[in-house]
Amino acid sequence: MPVIALSVKKMKSLTCPEGSSKQNFHDSQCKGLTLEVRSSGGRTWYFRYRDTYGRQHQLRLGDATDINLDQARQKADQFRGQVAMGQDPNEQRRTRHQIPTLNGFIQERYIPYVQSYKRSWQTDECLLRNHVLPSLGSRPMDQITKGDIISLIQAHRQTHKPASSNRVLVMLRYIFNLAMEWETAGVSKNPTVGVPLYKENNKRERYLTAEETQRLFRELERSQNPMLRFIIPMLILTGARKSEVLKARWDEFDFGSRIWRIGETKGGQARHVPISDALFKLLDQIGTQRKSRWLFPHPETGEPLGNFFNSWNTARKRADLSDVRIHDLRHSFASMLVNSGHSLYEVQKLLGHTQIRTTQRYAHLDQGTLLRASNQVGRLVYGSSPSAPSR
């Protein structure tokens, strides 16, 4: 392997010996730099070095038609400096090849993982497919910057509410945290760190009053859907989610202990709902029509009823409650409990929340309750409740 002082002029005269497929020429002016000359006429720059274990390696720098002598020497000097610092350029290059794109990580790691425990994983998949992957999916994860995240969320916010954009950001934060936890090649930082959440001003509070509830019940009796008069009261009496009520089975109810055991919950853990006197009476009425293991079977398929929006929409409009959503019935359950003097801890247990912070959103106190609480302070201060001033 000849060692020569390479120059532009010298390189033009270099040829591969007859009978050989290639010949390497080592540059005496730049340690480790090698020019491979092939019988076909092709020429390629390489950098040769030994790692910290004394093993010899060869790193391809590029084709001599694309990289000139000065550029090849600069790249060789750069890699030689890395070797001197104990780094292995080949290992770094292999690591770069192992760095997944965001789409690759999501499809191969993230989605299979959340499928194993998250009931709403399909929502994640939909958000990623529609709002994240079109712009960032093909990018290697180590190349996604904080600026990329900010641009993505700002663009999303143009057509969505703050809570929706925050959901995308929180999901991306979780994805990158998992990538770091799993020691994914190249992922050493989370680009979502420092990107603030939007202030959410769209939290809607709607609670049924006692008069509205009675008005609604009257319209339920008129509904052409015979199950609606049982489904809606059960939602209000238990504070259960719509899916929990629709998928309720008779074998989940222990009438001796007065307990309804809900096996499939949003959090993935079973929870227990007491069977109140009113619920006991309602279940007894449903039981007179019992023809299935489900409380509310579809009349044609026998499977749990999936949708009753049309009949619900008709009933709420007739009751002049068109702004009331199904989930507001759960809100109303919590509000009635708190306004009856029950603690947030009791409400938390009945709703099946793991965080008291979640319960606080539902725990609405009406003005009358707050006024009575304030008057209690007056009685403690003055010994009796002072009369309200006349106007």
Distance of CA 214 to the CA centre of its chain: 39
* Long-range contact set of residues 138-141: C-beta below 8 Å, sequence gap at least 24: 138/101, 138/102, 138/103, 139/101, 139/102, 140/96, 140/99, 140/100, 140/101, 140/102, 140/186, 141/99, 141/100, 141/101, 141/102, 141/105, 141/176, 141/179, 141/184, 141/186, 141/187
Residues 326-364: tens digit of each pLDDT:
988 988 888 888 777 777 777 777 777 777 776 776 555
> If one looks up domain 3-98 in CATH, what number appears?
3.30.160.390
Q: Look at strands 253-254 and 3-4 and give their pairing.
A: unpaired
Cα of first residue to Cα of last residue in the chain, in angstroms, is 108
pLDDT in tens, 35-81: 999 988 899 999 998 887 888 888 889 999 999 999 999 999 998 98
The CATH fold assigned to 210-372 is hpI Integrase; Chain A (1.10.443)
Q: Report the pLDDT value the prediction gives residue 201, as an integer from 0 to 100.
A: 64
For residue 300, what pLDDT band results from cuts at 50, 70 and 90? confident
Query: pLDDT grade, residue 391 (50/70/90)?
Result: very low
CB 296 within 8 A of CB 246: yes
Reported as a pLDDT band with limits 50, 70 and 90, residue 189 is very high
Share of residues in the chain with pLDDT > 90 (%): 51
User: What pTM was computed for the model?
Assistant: 0.52
In this structure, the number of other CB atoms found within 10 A of the CB of residue 81 comes to 11
pLDDT digits (tens, 9 = 90+) for 3-46: 889 998 899 889 888 889 999 999 999 999 999 999 888 999 99
Rounded to whole angstroms, the Cα distance separating 131 from 139 reads: 15
pLDDT at 131 over 90: yes
Q: With cut-offs at 50, 70 and 90, classify the pLDDT of residue 112.
A: very high
Q: Strand (E) positions, 223-326?
A: 253-254, 259-262, 271-274
Q: Kindly give the interhelix angle for 344-351 and 326-339, rounded to the nearest 10 degrees.
A: 150
CA distance 62 to 68: 10
**What are the boundaries of each domain within the chain?**
3-98, 102-181, 210-372
